[in-house]
Amino acid sequence: MGLAAEKCSRLFVLYVRCSNCLKEGTVPVSVPNEPDAPRDGEELIESAYLGSLRFSCQRCESPIGELVGVGGGELI
């Protein structure tokens, strides 16, 4: 009889400033908890994972934003 491992992920919060309207907002990001996955905000910034994400301002719909901070990293 084997034990089934639960799939976990890490929840990060990206703090983004829109380059068009300059409003700040948050974007939740869930990263699968794999051996080579980022474990904290610093590792997330250094990883290539953020390059695959798309941004769209909720207020003006601009596709260009500036990352101003990263929080979280808790397992969910």
Does position 59 have pLDDT exceeding 90, yes or no? yes
State pLDDT tens for residues 39-51. 999 999 998 888 8
Parse the chain into domains and list their residue ranges: 9-75
Joined tokens for residue 73: 């990293």
pTM exceeds 0.85 for this model: no
